[in-house]
Structure 1
Amino acid sequence: MSWTSYFSVLISLHHFLLFFDAVGKIIPVRYLLGVFMCLQFFIGPSLSYNGFDEYQYIVYRMKIPENEYFAYAIPAVLSFIIGLHLNSKGLAGESVDQEKVTKFVNENPKLPYYFLAIGFVASITSGFFSSDLAFVFYLIGSFKFIGLFLLVLGGKYLKPLPLTLVIGSIVSSSLGDGMFHDLLTWVIFVACVYGVRYRFGVNIKLMGLGIFIVFATVIQQMKGIYRESIGSEGAGIETFGKLLEQQNEQNGIFSFESLAPSVTRINQGFIITNIMNTVPDKVPFSNGEEMRQIFEAAFLPRILAPNKLNAGDREVFTKWSGIKLRAGTSMGLSSLGDAYLNFGVLGGCIFMFLLGLSYNNILKVFHNQGKTYPILPLFTTLVFYYPIRPDCELQTILGHLVKSCFLIYVMILFSKDMFSLKKKESFLKETI
């Protein structure tokens, strides 16, 4: 391995250890953002540059020399992480005042169940609306996780039924459409909230980590085969189990022959190398024009911007990456890719710093408002469960941020009394 690969792996390990240590203390949104960045832009590319590329299709191989790639990727990711943590004393916005949450739940014992009910109804009805409105219902569907978190943090006893229903619903929807990102992300957040409630020790965290790695590896190995089989064999746990058994008999899920080709699933660096191979030699830098379109798509509703970028626009992806996608295949340029094709290496690093800083400031707002509305920090999971995926399109990530923050703002605006503590003194007297 070259020094650049070693350095990127060391950064990744350091950030992972920070995340591991934070589990059980806070809801580590910042560290989770960094871990996913390191995984997809450092670990995956390091593996590819050091032997695993030969197991990939030519389209998924790194297209530029290792030093050239890491000369952009390392400072860009570090710039993002620095912006994310700048002046974030105590990781503002990620700590939960469990005592206040318990008081709040005691004052509003029915509210967690309202959140659960609203979330389930919204998830069921979201498919009946057009894309923009459906996305709002998709966000509201995540309220069921907020209801679960309130029961976990504010209740006296463990309630397995709500956990089973909520996790069962996300498992069912993931199997239904063959998309498992939401499942993996929410499992992490649920584990973090349980960690805050029960103060997980090192042994519990190591055990949970081992289970999650096996779980995530199986999903990464199987999701491509499963998606291809949904049309012929139907979606569901039976189909998934049958395919898993067949795959294990053929090559073994954890054999090198099975794992090596799947490195591409954690390597988004190959897309960056295709972009850097295309821009500016074949296509000139956008100089902010493509970024303007991204912000237009993120901040303006389609009624005001009818020609704004569509999610999964293959023409845009092909233009900047040079990769021609098959019908039904969707890939994103990623924030790192959009930053480069608009502003180059130096400008891209500056943009990534500003992106991290904007996330940081959003978390600080949740921290400050959480002093008045104690359950508000729990909503950071709803706001960031999509943006933590750096492989996604930047316009979709920013659109999720804008819409989710606006939704929470409206909710608080019209229900200030409901979401603030009302009986502080009386509650303290009863407790004493």
Structure 2
Amino acid sequence: MWGFIGIIAVLYISWRFIDALGKSLPILELMMLISGLQWIVGPYISYRQETTHYKYYMYVDQSTYMSYIVPAFLCFCIPLLIILKNQKASQKINFLKYLPYAKSLLFIGIAADVLSAVTPPALAFFFFLIAQFKFIGALLLLFSAKKTDQYYFYGALFYLFTNALARAMFHDLLLWGVFMFMYWCLKKQPTLGTRLTLIFVGVLFAVMIQAVKTTFRNHIWGGFQGNKVELFVDLLDEKVSSGYFEEETANEELNVRLNQGWIISAIMYYTPTFQAYAGGETIKEAIFSSLLPRFLNPNKKVAGGQENFELYTGLPLSGGTSMGMSIIGESYANFGVFNGIVFMLAWGAFLAWYWKKILSFAYDYPLVLMFLPIVFLQVVKAETELSVVLNHLFKASIVVALFFWAARKYLNWSLKETV
């Protein structure tokens, strides 16, 4: 029953996301959709497959898993759906007013990208956030009436693609690709058919990436010096011609990335039988870590989640591997089933409150709507744990607020909406 309810809930969130495209910026809908896909749909598929992998399988039965995860997911979504009922339609915002600042934002972002290679580690995250400004500049130029300005937007997409191939890391391409699609829909107002077609193409592209990612990464990190686009296409052609997508093992491999549930189920299996509940310790640690800089908190954990992952799943990770418990998994590891569900309700309520505060700021400073992807870059991900999410949310908000202050005071940018 819970599995069926969960699938219906994810289908509803999917429709909310598709319907909101072109009307608003469905970032909260995206966050709920990603969570539902990774926490519910991926596990649901896994339970219906004969998993052969020694590690990536569901550690508890479906009834045990779904009877926690679905109520927790629903409680997480309820405050967010309530707050979205009163959201102002972003399509009414006149972004043309801020076009004079677009190329400056583009330059600031590119400069920070270049300087990040020589900055000390303590400033790495700050420069990473500022480097994202180049995408904000490109997004603004999309709204220009000049076609030459709009080329910057498509150039940014091309940069994301080539950079992903160069580094064999596709995370930024997929996430920023979705964000840029949202703004493109605001500008172009595509029909439902066009939206569905482009979403289908995007999903297909993500599946292709997942199919060849490991092999492609081995080539690139092994020192490959040839044409990376050609290599990617050749590897994909090899997969298709060998009948990879028709094999049962291929479906299992592709679902591993979607299925965050194997980690959550491992936590449910291991905790509290072999490891006591954290009792809120990781939550308090995440809050203090996000509010205090490292020089005031020398015991602050390094981002990545390895320590908590191993402690509450009992599964070892190799030195360079980074895996998070996810917030819903961390919620169970701290409080168990009932209190874990209550915590997810509180977490959803906090994000709804935070979203409302940002939108109230955007009434006076509409340009902040362009910076929402930077603020929510880690928040929308379903696999990260609370310390990473809060750290990014608070620090990105501070950096954006400081930039708005500096732009008004020292660059004389007219950012405040006058009545």
Band the TM-score falls in, shorter-chain normalisation:
over 0.9
CA distance in structure 1 between the aligned counterparts of 2:238 and 2:230, rounded to whole angstroms = 12
TM-score by length of 2: 0.92
List 4+ stretches of structure 1 deviating above 3 A.
86-89, 154-160, 251-257
Q: Distance in 2 between matches of 1:46 and 1:364?
A: 33
Amino acid at match of 2:165: L
Amino acid of the structure 1 residue aligned with 2:348: G
Q: Which residue of 2 aligns with 1:406?
A: 398
**Structure 1 residue 281 and structure 2 residue 288: aligned?**
no
User: In 2, Cα distance between the equivalents of 1:91 and 1:254?
Assistant: 44
Contact 2:207 2:254 in 1 (8 A): no
- Cα deviation, 1:38-57, whole Å, max 9, x if unaligned, reads 1000100000111x2x2441
By how many angstroms is 1:33 displaced? 0.7
* 1:90 has 2:80 as partner: no
Match of 1:167 among 130, 147, 157: 157
The alignment covers a number of residue pairs equal to: 414
**Are residues 1:102 and 2:96 paired?**
yes
Deviation at 1:178, TM superposition (A): 2.5
Aligned positions of 1:338-417 closer than 5 A:
338-416=330-408
* Residues 1:419 and 1:332: Cα distance change in structure 2 (over 3 Å): farther
Two-structure CA RMSD over aligned residues (Å) = 2.1
Amino acid at match of 2:172: D
**1:78 matched to 2:74:** yes
Corresponding residue SS for 2:116: helix
Letter of the 1:83 counterpart: P
2:326 corresponds in structure 1 to: 334
Structure 2 contact 22–182 (Cα < 8 Å) conserved: yes
Aligned in 2, Cα 1:163/1:104: closer, same or farther, shift over 3 Å?
A: closer
Aligned-partner residue type, residue 231 of structure 1: W
Distance apart, 1:175 and its partner CA: 2.3
Superposition deviation, residue 192 in structure 1: 1.0
Counterpart Cα distance in 2 of 1:205 and 1:256: 30
Q: Deviations over 1:263-293 (max 9, x none)?
A: 1110001101110111111010111112222
Cα distance in 1 for partners of 2:387, 2:338 equals 21
Alpha-carbon distance, 1:154 to partner: 4.5
Alpha-carbon distance in 1 for matches of 2:244, 2:251? 9
What does residue range 186-197 of structure 1 map to in structure 2 within 5 Å? 186-197=176-187
* Distance across 2 between alignment mates of 1:221 and 1:289: 38
- Structure 2: which 5+ residue stretches go unaligned? none
1:310 corresponds to:
302
Residue matched to 1:208: 198
Counterpart check, 1:66 vs 2:62: yes
CA distance change for structure 1 residues 95 and 387 in 2, over 3 Å: closer, same or farther? same
Say which SS state the counterpart of residue 59 (structure 1) adopts. Answer: coil
Alpha-carbon shift at residue 399 of structure 1 (Å): 0.9
| Residue 26 (structure 2) pairs with residue 23 (structure 1) | no
Higher mean alpha-carbon deviation, 14-23 vs 309-318, is at 309-318
Change in 2 beyond 3 A, CA 1:249/1:88? closer
Bigger CA drift: 160-169 or 211-220? 160-169
Normalised by the size of structure 1, how large is the TM-score?
Answer: 0.90
Return the structure number with greater relative CO, CA threshold 8 A, min gap 6. 1
**Any conservation in 2 of the 1:96–1:378 contact (CA below 8 Å)?**
no
When residues 173 and 156 of structure 1 are mapped into structure 2, their CA distance, relative to the original with a 3 A threshold, is: closer
Amino acid at match of 1:44: G
Distance in 2 of aligned mates of 1:47 and 1:58: 17
Matches within 5 A, 1:167-186: 167-186=157-176
Q: Identical aligned pairs, as a percentage?
A: 29
Alignment pair present for 1:243 and 2:254: no
Unaligned runs of 5+ in 1: 426-432
When residues 177 and 311 of structure 1 are mapped into structure 2, their CA distance, relative to the original with a 3 A threshold, is farther
The structure-2 alpha-carbon separation of the partners of 1:115 and 1:56, relative to structure 1 and needing over 3 Å to count, comes to farther
Q: Distance in 1 between matches of 2:143 and 2:198?
A: 19
